[in-house]
Amino acid sequence: MASEPRTEPSRRRDDFGTIAMLVGTAISAISVLIYQPVAGRALGTDGFAPIAVLWTMMFVIYTVLMIPIEQFITRKLVVTGGGHGWLENDRRTVALVLGGGWILGMAFVAATLGTFFDGDPTFIVITAVLLVSRAVLAVGRGMLAGRRRFVAYGGTLATEASTLLVLALIAAAVSPTTVTFAWILVVGPLTVLAFKPWSVRDSVSDSGTDVDTAAKFLGWLIVATAASQVVIASAPIVVGFVGGSAAAVSIVFATFTLFRGPVTSAYNLVARVLPDFTDLSMRGEFGVLARWRHRIAVGGAVLALVGAVAAYFVGPWIVELLYGAEFEPPHMVAALGGAGVGSGLGALFVGQIFIASGRTKDLAVGWTAALVLAVIAVFAVPADPMLRIAWGFAVGETAALIILGFAPRKRTGSAP
């Protein structure tokens, strides 16, 4: 079924929702930006290391397995009309993906308990609850975006992160322990329930036919996001495995988490463009989508250049200002981080066009190739662990931008 054009009232509602999402994203970014230095200063580099690893694990599991669920739900609701019964045939697949993420996260923490968490089994319990709360957040946000409830989506962004910050400030003043800061991560995601994401407007009804099965769509999308997140989010873990010290883990975490803030924030905003790209794909406007793909890629390349220069000169100073002198990274590490973030932003938004068009297999191929190039860079560069990781990040993100942004369409009239 072809998607019908938006009416004027719905456009106004969407415009207001866009503003709400931008405001929510800004509040979220600022809250996280403050939370991490608060925790870092309260705990120090060694005490903060378990939080850095737990945050990285959570981020990877969420983006690799849970954001694909959110995006699948968003697209499914757009295609089928957003009414009741939209998930009847796909519940098992969604449950298997979310359950698999829970098992992987638990296994990682259990296996590295002595390496990263001082052997404290409390972190296993924290991980179990944390991954459930993140799954609730992913499903809830998918429902909100798919039904174009963008104002409510923006509200979830603001409340989750502000809850995190408020609790962190209280913990820093009352009980600044690593376990306390870890438990704080559990609470924020559950605030999505306050926005009743399961509710359906009276004007929404079931319509349309979704030709993509959940297993096929999600399978390739998970491969794509897995490859992309190994590139963008695994640096603090990888630097430890290639010989970096506990201090190096904290420095890399602080630097790359701060620099990739725009990419992390952009994950909140792609929920706004995915429904519109899906509408264009359903109407067969592949030429329009192809032009958007190329424009976004060029913009990402410009951002990469600007990011590299800016990060080289001011990046270390900003990290030191926020986290303290012991967290300051080398200038070249900062520059490569800035370049990778610019490319990563472009690749993220280009990827939404592939998702909207159902081309998750092509997206997976592109990101897998980028990951291979990133791994080659890590082992080919003769440098210290931090610089090797930075090179891998920059090479991987830039390769993804080029492959996804400028790869030719297969044939005239085909998906972009």
Q: What are 140-168's pLDDT values in tens digits?
A: 999 999 888 899 999 999 999 999 999 98
What pLDDT score does 29 carry? 84
CA 344/CA 395 separation, integer angstroms: 10
Count the domains in the chain: 1
Euclidean distance between CA atoms 138 and 126, whole angstroms: 18
Cβ(108)–Cβ(57) below 8 Å: yes
In a domain, 210, yes or no: yes
Higher-pLDDT residue of 134 and 44 is: 134
235 inside domain: yes
Alpha-carbon gap, residue 57 to 33, rounded angstroms: 18
The pLDDT of residue 1: 41
pLDDT tens digits for range 286-320: 889 999 999 999 999 999 999 999 999 999 999 98
pLDDT band, residue 9 (cuts 50/70/90): low
- In the block, which residue shows the tokens 């090479």? 395
**DSSP state, residue 64:** I
Identify the domain containing residue 166 by its residue range: 8-406
Structural domain includes residue 3 = no
| pLDDT of 213 over the 80 cut | no
Structure tokens, 223: 């491969």
Distance between CA 180 and CA 105 in Å, rounded? 19
Residue 411 lies in a domain: no
- Is residue 362 assigned to a domain? yes
Per-residue pLDDT at 235? 79
Is residue 413 in a domain? no
- 327 contacts 259 by C-beta, under 8 angstroms: no
Residue 64 structure tokens: 């690799």
Give the SS3 label for residue 7: coil
Alpha helices, DSSP H, located in 81-213 = 91-111, 113-116, 122-146, 150-174, 178-187
Per-residue CA distances from 129 to 2, 239, 285 (Å): 41, 27, 43
pLDDT at 277: 93
List Cβ<8 Å contacts ≥24 apart for 289-292. Answer: 289/353, 289/356, 289/357, 289/415, 289/416, 290/409, 290/416, 292/353, 292/416
pTM score above 0.85: no
